[in-house]
Structures are given as structure tokens and as C-alpha cells.
Amino acid sequence: MTFYEVTFYVLAVVALLSAILVITCRNPVHSAIFLVLTLLSVALIFLQLQAEFMAAVQIIVYIGGIMVLFLFVIMLVNLDVAVRQAPYNRQRWIAGFAALVLLAEFTLFIYQGRDWAKLPPAAAEAVQPNTELIGRALFQNYILPFEVASLLLLVAMVGAVLMAKQR
Amino acid sequence: MVPTWHYLALAAALFTVGVIGVLTRRNIIIIFMSLELILNAVNINLIAFARHWGSVDGHIFAIFIITVAAAEAAVGLGILIAFFRNRDTVNADEIDLLKW
């Protein structure tokens, strides 16, 4: 096993275990910390897939932005009552069964497509220099979706302020 | 070299964990965190296929998904704060005004 393979499997196990801890912890603060660990592992997997721009965006936006927002809201909301209540709802067995059916479908399709999805990945130079290629694509081919995304962020910002404002 | 389907399997597992979290937890904050897990699983798929085909389009889609995730988290947590102010709870199964 090369270093490249070992990094992927270690990161995959860390990401999966901390994802399971995210949904099983009683305390939302602990869930948030484990979610940071998952997002960091996913960022490193992006780096390992030679998507260094996406890894940086993942760390800056997710860990630096969204998770800080989550922690702020956890501290604004009084959770002492919620931590002592039952963490799972009444439909948990049906929901768990449905999710396992979903996992079985995923397993089936990925297993069927494993030969097709095993062709060696394209040459390493194909998505390099990464940031430059993304910039060109974003500002030439995808300029309209980019502008729409900026509008979406504006609407979300106004909406969030309006929702959270004291009346 | 790690075959592409290992990335797909990791993404499928993360997606399923997120779905279980959304469907079974009562705390809305943890439901939002599970949604972030689901979106991240999709991003792994997109980046893995971008690497597979040597194209940069998957990265662009992943950037838009992160944008939408940021917008969703901001609006969702704003709604959550407004809801907590009115009802003093963060349990999803107590939001049952429209329930038949």
C-alpha cells in the first residue's frame, strides 16, 4: 500500500466514525465538534483528490463560517432542557430501516458499477493548475450561475437577519 | 491508486449516516448538521468524478453546493432562533401546527 492509499483509508475511517458520532451525541456542542472533524477529513480527501481550491474553500466556508454560526446558535439557544430529553423521535425504527434500504440500494449500484468506476483516474495534470482552471470556468462558462449564486447569498443574508431580528 | 468506487462508497456511507440523522433526531440543530453531512457526501462524489474524468466542472458544482449550504444554514438557523423565541423548544416533533 502506498502512502496515497493509506491516507485515503485513514481519512475515510475518521470521517465516517466522527459522522456517526455527530448523529449519536446527546449534546449538540459535541456533535458540532465531531462535525468539524468530519469536515476537516473531507477537506483533506479533497486535497488528496488534487482539488486544493475546494479543500481551502471547505475549510474557510464550512469550518470557519458555517460551524461558527452553528456554535453561536447553540449558545444562543438554551439547550439544557433538550439535552435531558429523549434524543430520538418515535419513528426511529421505521426511519432506520428506510435508511438501511437506501444504503442497500447504494451498495448494489456501486457494486454493479465497480468495474466501470475502476478505470484509472485521469492524468494528474488534467485538473492543474487547479485554482486557475476553476477561475476561468467560473468567470467564463459559468458566469450566469455565479451571479445567481451571489443573488441567492444576498437573499439568504436578508432573510436570516429578518428572521433572527428582535421584534 | 484508490479506485473511484471507494470514494463513491465513502460518499454513500456518509449520505446514509446523514439521512439517519435527519430522520431520527429530535433536535433541529443536529438535523441541520446532518444536512451538512449529506451535502458533503455529494461534494465528495462530485470531486471524485472530476478527478476521474480530469474535468474541472465537478469543482464548480461543488462550489455552488457549498454556496447553497451556507445560505441554507444561515436562513435555517435564523428560523430556528425565531422559533425558539416563540415556543421555547428546539424539538422538531413539537413543530406540529400543520399536522393533521
The one-character DSSP state at B81 is: H
Give the mean model confidence (pLDDT) for residues A87-111.
89
Cβ contacts of B60 on chain A, cutoff 8 Å: 134, 137-138, 142, 145
Query: Taking CA A96 as the corner, what is the angle to CA A92 and CA A100, rounded to the nearest 5 degrees?
Result: 175
Nearest alpha-carbon partner for B27 in A3, A55, A24, A49: A24
Q: How far apart are CA A62 and CA A68, in angstroms?
A: 9
Closest Cβ opposite residue A118 in set B3, B19, B47? B3
Is it the case that residue A30 has pLDDT exceeding 80?
yes
- The complex scores an ipTM of 0.91
What is the DSSP secondary-structure string of A69-82?
HHHHHHHHS--HHH
Contacts of A39 (CB under 8 A, 6+ apart): A58, A59, A62, A63, A67, B36, B40
Contacts of B79 (CB under 8 A, 6+ apart): A163
The model's confidence at residue A10, banded by pLDDT at 50, 70 and 90, is: very high
Is it the case that residue B52 has pLDDT exceeding 80?
yes
CB < 8 Å from A in window 26-85 of B: 26-27, 29-30, 32-34, 36-37, 40, 43-44, 47-48, 50-57, 59-60, 62-64, 66-75, 77-82, 84
pLDDT of residue B99: 78
Give the number of A-B residue pairs with CB atoms closer than 8 Å.
Answer: 252
Give the mean model confidence (pLDDT) for residues B66-78.
92
Structural domains for chain B: 4-89 (1.10.287.3510)
Give the mean model confidence (pLDDT) for residues A12-36.
92
Cβ contacts of B66 on chain A, cutoff 8 Å: 57-58, 61-62
Least confident stretch, A5-14, A108-117, B26-35: A108-117
**Of A35 and A126, the one with more pLDDT:** A35
pLDDT of residue B89: 81
Which residues are registered as beta bridge partners of B27? B91
pLDDT tens digits along A100-140: 999 999 999 988 887 776 666 666 666 778 888 899 989 99
Nearest alpha-carbon partner for A16 in B15, B45, B8, B43: B15
The percentage of chain A sitting over the pLDDT mark of 90, rounded to a whole number, equals: 50
